[in-house]
Amino acid sequence: MSEVALTEGDVIQHIVTFGIDVYPPVEIPKERTRLNIFYEEARSRHGDLFDQLVASDTTFRISREFRPQGPLGDPALRQETFALTNRGPVFIFPVRFPDPVGATGINEDPRERFETVRRLFFSAIAERKIMRIGMVRDLIFDTGEDPCRSVLSGKAEFAGAQLVGGSRLLSYRDAYCNLRIAVEPGAMLKTTKLPVGTEVTERRSYGLRVQLDVYNLQVKPLEDADIQQVLERATSLWPEKLLQYLQERS
C-alpha cells in the first residue's frame, strides 16, 4: 500500500463556495428589480468574478469567463460564480483550474471578498434572516501514478482483488459546526484530436478529489459573530490540518 504525500503544489483545481440559507426564501419574480440591482453593482465592483447573467422567473445565475494562461487557441472556461437557490444565495470563488487556465487571480482565502459581496447582496435583498452558512472547499489533487486507494479504504484488497473505484464520506461534529469530508478517486484525462478528425482520450495521471464542507450545527437566526465563528473554523482547516488528515489516512 503506497503512502500518499499530498502538498499544496499538487492541487490542480481549487474552488471555494459559500452557501447561505435564508428565511423567508427569496422569490425571484417578486424580487426581480432588486436582484438586477445586485447584479449591476456586483458586475461593476467585481468584474473579475461576474460578467454574465442568466435570469428568468425560476433562475438567477451569474458566471465569469476565465481565459487560459497558455498559448492562444486554448478554449476559455465559463464558471458559475453566483447562484440563487430555493434555500438562498451561493457565492462561488474559483481559485484555480487545471491547465491551461491555471490560477484565476482569486485569492486562496476569499473570505474578505465574500464578505463584501455578501453585504452587497443583502443590501439589495433586505429583510432576510441568515439561518445557516457553510463553506465548501473543493480540491482536486494530481497524484501522478498513485491511484490513492489507501485514502479511500483502510483495506485496499479483498480476496486478492484490488479496489478500483469508490468514494468515502466522513462526518464530524464539534460544539458549533458540522464537518463533512468527501474523498473520491479520479483520473486526469487528455484528449487529442487527430488529423483524420477522430479524438483519442488517454489517462495522463491519477487524481483525488477532496471536498471539505463546514457549516453551523444549530439552525437559527445567525448574528455576525456566529457567521464569523463558522468561517474561521472552516478557514483554519486548510491547508495544514486537511493535508495532515489525508496523510494519516494513508
Which residue type occupies 197?
Answer: G
pLDDT digits (tens, 9 = 90+) for 46-79: 999 999 999 999 999 999 999 987 666 678 899 9
pLDDT digits (tens, 9 = 90+) for 192-213: 566 666 665 666 788 999 999 9
Say whether both 140 and 185 belong to one domain. yes
pLDDT confidence band for 1 (50 / 70 / 90): very low
Q: Mean pLDDT over residues 180-199, rounded?
A: 73
Cα–Cα distance for residue pair 220/64, rounded to 1 Å: 33
Q: Which helix (H) or strand (E) holds 28?
A: helix 28-45
Same domain, 81 and 187: no
Q: Are 234 and 242 in contact (CB under 8 A)?
A: no
Percent of the chain clearing pLDDT 70 (strictly above): 84
Query: ∠ at Cα 87 (117, 109), nearest 5°?
Result: 35
Do residues 101 and 153 share a domain?
no
Domain final residue pick, 99, 127, 155: 127
Q: How far apart are CA 21 and CA 146, in angstroms?
A: 39
151 and 95 in a common domain: no
Instruction: Note whether 187 and 103 are same-domain residues.
Output: no
Q: Is the model more confident about 135 or about 108? A: 135
Say what the pLDDT of residue 116 is: 96
Instruction: Calculate the CA 26 to chain-centre distance.
Output: 23
Q: What is the pTM (predicted TM-score) of this model?
A: 0.89
Q: Which of the four pLDDT bands, split at 50, 70 and 90, describes residue 164?
A: low
Domain co-membership, 38 together with 142? no
Among 76, 101, 127, where does a domain finish? 127
The pLDDT score that the predictor gives to residue 249 is 77
The residue assigned the cell 487557441 is: 73
Kindly give the residue spans of alpha helices, DSSP state H, lying in 77-175. Answer: 111-124, 149-152
Do 82 and 2 fall within a single domain?
no
Q: How confident is the model at residue 188 (pLDDT cuts 50, 70, 90)?
A: confident
What pLDDT is recorded for position 200? 58
- Bond into 24 cis (ω within 30): yes
Name the phi and psi angles at 24, rounded to 5: -70, 160
pLDDT computed for residue 146 by the predictor? 78
In angstroms, the CA 227 to CA 130 distance is 9
C-alpha cell at 84: 440563487
Structural domain including 209 reads 1-16+135-250
**Predicted local confidence at residue 74, as pLDDT:** 75
118 and 146 inside one domain: no
- Torsion on CA atoms 139, 144, 147, 149, rounded to nearest 10: -70
Which residues pair with residue 62 across a beta bridge? 53, 82
Angstrom distance (rounded) from CA 92 to CA 139:
13
Residue type, 200: V
Place of cell 443583502: 122
Count the domains in the chain.
2
Last residue of a domain, one of 66, 95, 127: 127
Say how far apart CA 80 and CA 83 lie, in whole Å. 7
Residues 74 and 140 in one domain: no
